[in-house]
């Protein structure tokens, strides 16, 4: 089966995916968020301003930038890992505040048509031999054949709390709140919060851990012992 998970920033999408990876046998995780972050991260390090990048990506196929920067995906421990020119991307750098905001801005305007086609073919190929868990955005546009399309949500206060913990207190709660609200705005404008007929919305505000959130997901899709 193919499970697609998207939702609000800070709601715990990636953590849920990794929990599912450990529970669902013979599964592999496509971390679409980090794949996209690697592209934007490489472009930022090329010395161009955010305004220049927005202009460039709006008019050009983003897969061309993947070729320019030697970006490829490798599967390690059943999860896709992005590499830039042969070097493994550091997830902490990909997930930092600057990169996260840049991804939200670029994702809103970029030409993603060919990237979606590449991702679709990759998912289709992986699904021949594995259960596939996708963490990303625009999953229904990327792979409409998904068996489960889950949208994870949580209150803004709870998302701020979780991000504060993720950043080890190095960012103030006020700064994190402003960042999340700005990213929410970009995502809403980009259509990333669109719900479809098959979308299942799961509110994890009251879940105390990624494991609890994952149990709620499994109960919702009636998987295994959670039926």
Give the rounded percent of residues in the chain with a pLDDT score beyond 90: 59
Q: What integer pLDDT is reported at residue 176 of this predicted model?
A: 94
Q: Which of 51-65, 79-93, 119-133 has the highest mean pLDDT?
A: 119-133
Mean pLDDT score of the chain:
89
Residue 72: which region, alpha, beta or left (left: phi > 0; alpha: psi -120 to 50)?
beta
Does residue 148 contact residue 140 with C-beta atoms inside 8 Å? no
Taking residues 183-192, what's their average pLDDT? 90
Q: Is the pLDDT of residue 196 over 90?
A: yes
State residue 122 phi and psi, 5-degree precision: -65, -45
Neighbours of 223 (CB within 10 A): 16
Q: What angle do CA 36, 103, 154 make, to 5 degrees?
A: 100
Q: Is the pLDDT of residue 227 over 70?
A: no
Band the pLDDT of 131: cuts 50, 70, 90. Answer: very high
Neighbours of 99 (CB within 10 A): 17
Element (H, E) at 203: strand 199-203
How far CA 36 is from CA of 32, 40, 104, 135, in Å, comes to 6, 7, 10, 11
Residues 39-79: pLDDT tens digits? 888 888 877 777 777 777 776 777 888 888 899 999 999 99
Q: What integer pLDDT is reported at residue 89 of this predicted model?
A: 87
Handedness of CA 152, 155, 160, 165 (dihedral sign): negative
Band the pLDDT of 114: cuts 50, 70, 90. Answer: confident
pLDDT: which is higher, 172 or 110: 172
Q: Is the pLDDT of residue 123 over 80?
A: yes
Taking residues 138-167, what's their average pLDDT? 95
Distance CA 177, CA 34 (A): 22
Band the pLDDT of 201: cuts 50, 70, 90. Answer: very high
Residue 111: which region, alpha, beta or left (left: phi > 0; alpha: psi -120 to 50)?
beta
């Amino acid at each position: 089966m193919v499970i697609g998970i998207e939702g609000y920033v800070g709601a715990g999408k990636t953590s849920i995916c990794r929990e599912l990876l450990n529970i669902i046998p013979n599964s592999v995780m496509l971390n679409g968020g980090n794949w996209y972050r690697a592209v934007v991260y490489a472009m930022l390090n090329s010395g161009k301003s955010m305004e220049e990048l927005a202009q460039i990506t709006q008019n050009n196929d983003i897969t061309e930038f993947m070729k320019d920067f030697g970006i490829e995906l490798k599967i390690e421990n059943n999860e896709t890992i992005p590499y830039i020119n042969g070097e493994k991307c550091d997830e902490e750098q990909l997930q930092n505040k600057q990169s996260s905001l840049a991804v939200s801005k670029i994702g809103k305007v970029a030409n993603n048509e060919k990237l979606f086609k590449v991702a679709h073919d990759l998912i289709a190929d992986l699904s021949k031999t594995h259960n596939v868990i996708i963490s990303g955005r625009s999953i229904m546009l990327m792979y409409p054949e998904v068996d489960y399309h889950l949208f994870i949500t949580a209150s803004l206060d709870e998302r701020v709390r979780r991000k504060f913990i993720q950043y080890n207190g190095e960012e103030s709660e006020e700064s994190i709140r402003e960042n999340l609200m700005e990213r929410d705005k970009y995502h809403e404008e980009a259509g990333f919060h669109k719900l479809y007929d098959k979308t299942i919305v799961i509110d994890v505000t009251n879940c105390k851990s990624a494991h609890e959130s994952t149990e709620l997901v499994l109960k919702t899709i009636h998987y295994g012992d959670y039926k």
